[in-house]
Amino acid sequence: MKQVILIFALLAGTVTFAQNKNAKASMEVDGVCGMCKERIEKAAIRTKGVKSAVWNVDTHELKLIFDERKTDLKTISAKIASVGHDTKEIKATDEAYNSVHPCCKYRDKEVQKDHEKEKGDGNE
């Protein structure tokens, strides 16, 4: 019986220490402009446990630093989707997507083309 308790205690201790309070991860988040960047980063930062969130307009990569004891990538993705932006894991509802500014309609091919033209002109 003592061996079972010892093994359980060791496993519990391993699980506790396996969670990183400064975990780093990245995920792809759809968006097209600076307004999208602000909305995505704000949604991520407002997720309990997220310490840093930086989204790149060109690559659509969101780099995160977060406390694994307080949150996970699925929770962060859900928070971002709730403000209208798709992630690989969770797609924003039509209601959430429709709430974003018209220039941020990243699913619309015309909006994407307009933003590509801006990048080409150097007006970003």
Q: For residue 50, give the DSSP letter.
A: E
Evaluate whether 37 touches 31 at the Cβ level (below 8 Å).
Answer: yes
Answer whether residue 9 shows pLDDT above 60. Answer: no
Range list of β-strands (E), the chain: 23-28, 50-55, 61-66
* Tens digits of residue pLDDT in 24-38: 999 999 999 999 999
Note the pLDDT of residue 15: 52
Domain ranges (residues) in the chain? 19-121
Average pLDDT in the chain: 88
Q: 19-121 sits in which CATH class?
A: alpha beta
Note the pLDDT of residue 124: 42
**Helix%, strand%, coil% for the chain, nearest 5:** 50, 15, 35
Tokens representing residue 4 in the block? 């079972």
* Tens digits of residue pLDDT in 64-123: 999 999 999 999 999 999 999 999 999 999 999 999 999 999 999 999 888 887 766 554
Q: How confident is the model at residue 19 (pLDDT cuts 50, 70, 90)?
A: confident
More confident residue, 113 or 44: 44
Answer whether residue 2 shows pLDDT above 70. Answer: no
